Amino acid sequence: MKGFAMLGIGKTGWIEKERPACGPLDAICRPIVLAPCTSDVHTVWEGALGDRHDMILGHETVAEVVEVGSLVKDFKPGDKVIVPAITPDWNSIEAQDGYQMHSGGMLAGWKFSNFKDGVFGEFFHVNDADGNLAILPDGMDPVAACMLADMVPTGFHGVELADIQFGDSVVVVGIGPVGLMAVAGAALRGASHIYAVGSRPNCIQIAKEYGATDIIDYHNGDIAEQVIKKTGGKGVDRVVIAGGNVDTFAQAVTMLKPGGRIGNVNYLGEGEFIKIPRIEWGCGMGHKIIAGGLMPGGRLRMEKLASLMSTGRLDAGKLVTHRFEGFDKIEEALMLMKEKPKDLIKPVVVIKW
Amino acid sequence: MKGFAMLGIGKTGWIEKERPACGPLDAICRPIVLAPCTSDVHTVWEGALGDRHDMILGHETVAEVVEVGSLVKDFKPGDKVIVPAITPDWNSIEAQDGYQMHSGGMLAGWKFSNFKDGVFGEFFHVNDADGNLAILPDGMDPVAACMLADMVPTGFHGVELADIQFGDSVVVVGIGPVGLMAVAGAALRGASHIYAVGSRPNCIQIAKEYGATDIIDYHNGDIAEQVIKKTGGKGVDRVVIAGGNVDTFAQAVTMLKPGGRIGNVNYLGEGEFIKIPRIEWGCGMGHKIIAGGLMPGGRLRMEKLASLMSTGRLDAGKLVTHRFEGFDKIEEALMLMKEKPKDLIKPVVVIKW
Amino acid sequence: MKGFAMLGIGKTGWIEKERPACGPLDAICRPIVLAPCTSDVHTVWEGALGDRHDMILGHETVAEVVEVGSLVKDFKPGDKVIVPAITPDWNSIEAQDGYQMHSGGMLAGWKFSNFKDGVFGEFFHVNDADGNLAILPDGMDPVAACMLADMVPTGFHGVELADIQFGDSVVVVGIGPVGLMAVAGAALRGASHIYAVGSRPNCIQIAKEYGATDIIDYHNGDIAEQVIKKTGGKGVDRVVIAGGNVDTFAQAVTMLKPGGRIGNVNYLGEGEFIKIPRIEWGCGMGHKIIAGGLMPGGRLRMEKLASLMSTGRLDAGKLVTHRFEGFDKIEEALMLMKEKPKDLIKPVVVIKW
Amino acid sequence: MKGFAMLGIGKTGWIEKERPACGPLDAICRPIVLAPCTSDVHTVWEGALGDRHDMILGHETVAEVVEVGSLVKDFKPGDKVIVPAITPDWNSIEAQDGYQMHSGGMLAGWKFSNFKDGVFGEFFHVNDADGNLAILPDGMDPVAACMLADMVPTGFHGVELADIQFGDSVVVVGIGPVGLMAVAGAALRGASHIYAVGSRPNCIQIAKEYGATDIIDYHNGDIAEQVIKKTGGKGVDRVVIAGGNVDTFAQAVTMLKPGGRIGNVNYLGEGEFIKIPRIEWGCGMGHKIIAGGLMPGGRLRMEKLASLMSTGRLDAGKLVTHRFEGFDKIEEALMLMKEKPKDLIKPVVVIKW
């Protein structure tokens, strides 16, 4: 079978591989909709995961089941499914402890395009099909549903990590696709003021549609100062970090009230340390909790988030700004992600077999 | 001063009282908008609190401060304020323990028209003004804001007690004004399917506008059976009880999944016992948590919920179906509440001094 | 192979069955230590689970692995293991939702001597060996360790459901083996006053050793009244129910402060309803949370609780008052459990193959 | 009246001041037992709070009430009381939000020897007596009780921030008096292995008595490496930081499992940044939560922790290694704290008026 792969750091290309084998609990699927992710870009061109050779990329897809293992009960060939980016080993110690995304080791619930071939192949392998696939609901647009693989659960997890409560004021740093889902998630969790940090006009427009009440543009000065000014010196209850870098945390701590929480879902690709400013963190005593975590995956998570789309609470389809047709367009879509033109939020590739 | 009072069980009337005195931490206010509550009806005609003589009724109001005590720092005469139905003693053991509504004893954070004169007077007394009043935000309609005194915090507390998470399926039993706020709160907290139990056309219409996805009418059979059927036999993740009686809990437990939660905010006025069906409760082992509680009051709560209105997340003004002008219309408004015509959700009295 | 079974309601006896088959994820074990449980008595003589024919009893054991499936990674024949009474399907929707004990349906994580043959056989079958077995730590007495299968996790779960905090006053109703573990767990979770409700001298002695500060004997009058009196009218912060019946909840609610929690781990075998007294429950508004649930099982839970024994925080071995030698003594041990002589807390059967 | 004060950075001495005035909610007390705190040392000789002139030091005391304000209900002259180091304004927005220690601003619940005169005077002032004092239980040694003012609640709060669960493995960094209370608190909260980091023989001995299972000495190499080695490469579930400096967090993050929590209660007096190592923190996605906070104070907290001492769960008196008699010995006791001889854990001054 064909797959679009990382050949080595900085290099991509089409390769031939054997179709993956299906264990007793597994499924083999083929993609219907695919989306490249900024992580794929980091993986290839920044070597974020270290070197990988001939590893098929991709971890965002809606797909069709083509084969299932002998112990799979709830899925069969022909089923259309949402496939989460994170596919845990559910019986692992870590999953039993509530941290399925770290099953088998920190971040090791993330398998596609990390420890094994990803979804940019004619076929791909899903471990524990019953535990990790979710039926695409009747009538749901698979293009919008493809955002459930990573963008929605990651953005929403930022909201969960920040533990937003009714009426909280919230800053969302970064309004790329994950940040926009954090804005939508914050609104859907009962935030009042949502200060969205970003500057691209397209993203600002969508951020407002998802519930941002104020836009903070870093071109206008330090974002912490802007937030503090806008809140009359008080700062905000919660900060979700969905963009920036290791230095963003200093701003986040500064703009946060005592008793506040930071929820980070931004993959920090470089820098040795995240630096927490001592004074602003209350000399260690300010109750400004700093949390950061990989999205939870698996079947239930997909079903729950899909239900928000089927009941009209969330329209994740708005994220999709560019649409390609045909399996061979994966390369073009990924390159677009790499170049990141101003009007891009998220590209998808739609496949007809 | 004049006040509209409970004279004894089953009897109401206008009385003359001395204007209340203002302690060092207190405020004296006069109402701008008043709303009668079903509780007032229970108090007078069902004797729900036991006998009370010449007690001024009412606990829902937006008001103007006319006097403050010597230790009050944040309020002054002339301020327009939202007054919560629950005005705790913040330094009590119970408030320190996180249960401000029970400060001084179970339910004793509820003072107006319970332990002391309520707000249906020309003037009324507020304990701990700094801790219990909130400034009416500029430009906010005081009629809508009056719903913040009791309807919004009570309905939203049902959602908090049920601990609704992203994508949860929820039943809201009862779609009077509190139940409607529970529907709005559930949607605003990330529920997917919201099954609203009620039958009055006016309420059904508003329930849908607030986010109900399905209406369950008890005229069509047992509500638990209807919910179980609608959910393919699985039941729901959460139930908020905002209506019904002691028997409603048996239905709630029946329609709930293991691991689910019931949040009750319905004042249970009669019946010796709430009966939990043993088998459906998993013989005591089903992890179906039963919680019920009086709304949290105080200043911060008012500010947080008001911020949801000023940012457009919530339009509580929709609850107001009947509007009276003039202090002397309190009686008429209360009687309307007692008679509960089909198209009534919530009446208010608007006062110009 | 031989097994001691429920032949039908009210009847037990030895039967011959085929040794169970081992699926790819499973293990086949043989018991080293066995303990009968009050549940076995309820199952046989009260028909608590309905009729069962020729079902091997028992769900408390420390065992030796004799065979593992092809996909099992962490266990091998010869390993000595602690086997939890609850062995969930870890990839189920319920386990993903944090309720592993209800995997596949309410209470369905409980399989041994419920949906399949229990551990009172020469061999028994364990689903998902990697997810559900725990290595018996070097040097740990298997007799004491056998208490980890059900008594320790059930008693401790009562403490978790009641959510005991530093300095809380706690009532533990019932001081059979589960209640005694609730006493030990409450002390180990930071409770201050622990009021243990019971009357058998042997149990009272052990309750005090495990941390009970006061003994409440129902022979001396209503237990709620006694507790209220002992606490100067205030009641307690938490109640763990590990004995009694459906009527115990009325007492528990009565003796509980507003904002308190009840954690039930007593299997309620009869009665149509649990009755919650309306007034004492604050007319639905007292924030007295009622929770009840089956113990969590699985590997991590066993490892964590075993670590409390290996570090000397807990000596569960004290529960064992009667000790039998030889597989054929299971019947005698179970009958002892049924007769429940005054000095009995927990019998075990030690087996040498 | 006389008081022992900070005269300026680096300077202390006895001064004369007017006896403080008693507002309507307040109390005036005089100390029975006093303890200097490392914070006093930081305040004076490191200028940790900035410059202060003629500010009476001290915030740890058991005292006698000599005067109460007109609105005080529960205390009267002659009462022996435990006085918490943190005395919040209970009606503040922050206290209403659950963060009483930050009432009025970050850390501003800490008033004694910070924003106002401390307890090292012949008399001192307590704001909100009903909300902030606790009766010394009959028969409780006031010397041991004096540890309830700061040492016990601070150490125990580290345990709360780290959210220790049954069977968790825990590192406690630092075994001065606060760290020792963290060890005791961890054991009392259900930790299994407790790795205590320290080297002074006296402290090691007491740490073991309080429940430490292993001692980690930084003289033997990097503490993170030692912990990782001792745990077979797995790391621990929780870390409580009660000593060290801004660099300690890098070690804490390194030795922590994904899904773990850090609870800091060490006042960080210098350094611009706390540095979180990016890779070990899972590139922002490892679910290693970092929390740090000032102890909660107030009456309920004192009562709850005192109940642990009166029921024998905790013997905080062991911390007291040096005992002085007489008000004029405060200076000597503070200097001892400054010099920190090897055998010192905590000195107290006992006063007879």
Indicate the SS3 state at residue D292.
Answer: strand
Residue for token pair 């001892």:
D336
**Are residues A144 and A137 in contact, defined by beta-carbon separation less than 8 angstroms?**
no
Q: What is the pLDDT of residue C352?
A: 87
Q: What is the DSSP string of B209-257?
A: HHT-SEEE-GGGS-HHHHHHHHTTT--EEEEEE-SS-TTHHHHHHHTEE
Q: What is the pLDDT of residue B277?
A: 98
Lookup: tokens for C241: 């129910």
Q: Is the pLDDT of residue C15 over 90?
A: yes
Q: How far is A212 from chain C (nearest CA, A)?
A: 30
d(CA C119, CA C129) in angstroms, rounded, equals: 15
Instruction: Give the residue among D69, D77, D103 at the shortest CA–CA distance from D88.
Output: D103
pLDDT average, residue stretch A296-310: 98
Nearest 5°: phi and psi at A184?
-60, -40
**Are residues B140 and B214 in contact, defined by beta-carbon separation less than 8 angstroms?**
no
Distance of CA C257 to the CA centre of its chain: 27
B contact set with A (CB within 8 A) = 156, 160, 165-169, 185, 187-193, 211, 213, 303-308, 310-311, 313
With contacts defined as CB-CB under 8 Å, which chain C residues touch D313? 187, 190-192, 211
Instruction: Give the residue among C115, C132, C93 at the shortest CA–CA distance from A74.
Output: C93
* pLDDT band, very low/low/confident/very high, at A163 (cuts 50, 70, 90): very high
Q: Spell out the residues 6+ positions from residue C270 whose beta carbon is closer than 8 angstroms to its own.
A: B278, C46, C245, C246
Q: How far is A97 from chain C (nearest CA, A)?
A: 7
Q: Is the pLDDT of residue B352 over 90?
A: no
pLDDT tens, residue by residue, A319-350: 999 999 999 999 999 999 999 999 999 999 99
pLDDT average, residue stretch A128-138: 98
* pLDDT band, very low/low/confident/very high, at A353 (cuts 50, 70, 90): confident
**Are residues C86 and C100 in contact, defined by beta-carbon separation less than 8 angstroms?**
yes
Cα dist from D289 to D261, D273, D285, D292, whole Å: 5, 17, 10, 10
pLDDT tens, residue by residue, C317-352: 999 999 999 999 999 999 999 999 999 999 999 998
**Are residues A146 and A61 in contact, defined by beta-carbon separation less than 8 angstroms?**
yes
d(CA C245, CA B240) in angstroms, rounded, equals: 27
pLDDT tens, residue by residue, B123-139: 999 999 999 999 999 99
Q: How far is D306 from chain B (nearest CA, A)?
A: 15
- Average pLDDT of every residue of chain A: 97
Q: What is the pLDDT of residue D48?
A: 85
By DSSP bridging, strand D80-83 and strand D61-68 are antiparallel
A contact set with B (CB within 8 A) = 156, 160, 165-169, 185, 187-193, 211, 213, 303-308, 310-311, 313
**Are residues B132 and B299 in contact, defined by beta-carbon separation less than 8 angstroms?**
yes
pLDDT average, residue stretch C43-48: 90
Q: Is the pLDDT of residue B256 over 90?
A: yes
Q: Cα angle at C286 between C282 and C291, to 5 degrees?
A: 115
Q: Spell out the residues 6+ positions from residue D310 whose beta carbon is closer than 8 angstroms to its own.
A: C192, D137, D139, D140
Q: Is the pLDDT of residue A74 over 90?
A: yes
pLDDT average, residue stretch C209-235: 97
Indicate the SS3 state at residue B314.
Answer: coil
**Are residues D210 and D179 in contact, defined by beta-carbon separation less than 8 angstroms?**
no
Indicate the SS3 state at residue A128.
Answer: coil
d(CA D300, CA B99) in angstroms, rounded, equals: 12
Sheet arrangement for strand C11-16: C11-16, C2-8, C55-56
The runs of H, that is alpha helices, within A92-135 are 93-96, 129-132
Q: Spell out the residues 6+ positions from residue C211 whose beta carbon is closer than 8 angstroms to its own.
A: C183, C184, C186, C187, C188, C191, C194, D313
Q: Is the pLDDT of residue C353 over 80?
A: no
Q: What is the pLDDT of residue D79?
A: 98
d(CA D100, CA D109) in angstroms, rounded, equals: 7
Inter-chain residue contact C189 with D190, CB threshold 8 Å: yes
Burial of D304 per CB tally in 10 Å (0-12, 13-18, 19+)? buried
With contacts defined as CB-CB under 8 Å, which chain B residues touch C259? 94, 97-99, 102
By DSSP bridging, strand B170-173 and strand B194-197 are parallel
Indicate the SS3 state at residue C80.
Answer: strand
Q: B67 has which bridge partners?
A: B28
d(CA B164, CA C248) in angstroms, rounded, equals: 29
Inter-chain residue contact C192 with D160, CB threshold 8 Å: no
- The CA dihedral of D249, D255, D256, D262, to the nearest 10 degrees, is -30
**Are residues A187 and A179 in contact, defined by beta-carbon separation less than 8 angstroms?**
no
Residue type, C17: K
**Are residues C214 and C208 in contact, defined by beta-carbon separation less than 8 angstroms?**
no
Burial of B42 per CB tally in 10 Å (0-12, 13-18, 19+)? middle
- % of residues, chain A, pLDDT over 70: 100
Lookup: tokens for C246: 């459906």
With contacts defined as CB-CB under 8 Å, which chain A residues touch B313? 187, 190-192, 211
d(CA B21, CA D115) in angstroms, rounded, equals: 34
Inter-chain residue contact B98 with D96, CB threshold 8 Å: no
Cα dist from A208 to A79, A314, B11, B128, C231, whole Å: 36, 14, 53, 39, 55
pLDDT average, residue stretch A166-192: 98
Nearest 5°: phi and psi at B44?
-80, -55
d(CA D210, CA A56) in angstroms, rounded, equals: 54
Q: In the A/D pair of chains, how many CB contacts fall below 8 A?
A: 153
Inter-chain residue contact C308 with D169, CB threshold 8 Å: no
Q: Is the pLDDT of residue A108 over 80?
A: yes
Q: What is the pLDDT of residue A182?
A: 98
pLDDT tens, residue by residue, B183-218: 999 999 999 999 999 999 999 999 999 999 999 999
Distance of CA B185 to the CA centre of its chain: 13
pLDDT along chain D (353 residues), means of 10: 97 98 98 96 90 96 98 98 98 98 98 97 98 98 98 98 98 98 98 98 98 97 98 98 97 98 96 97 98 98 98 98 98 96 97 87
Residue type, A130: D
Tell me the ipTM for this assembly.
0.97
With contacts defined as CB-CB under 8 Å, which chain D residues touch B300? 93, 96-97
Lookup: tokens for A286: 């300010």
Cα-only R_g, chain A: 20
Instruction: Give the residue among D277, B349, A303 at the shortest CA–CA distance from C96.
Output: A303
Residue for token pair 């099982």:
C297
pLDDT average, residue stretch A139-145: 98
Indicate the SS3 state at residue D317.
Answer: helix
Q: How far is D314 from chain A (nearest CA, A)?
A: 25
Inter-chain residue contact C130 with A298, CB threshold 8 Å: no
Instruction: Give the residue among B124, B18, B155, B107 at the shortest CA–CA distance from B62.
Output: B124
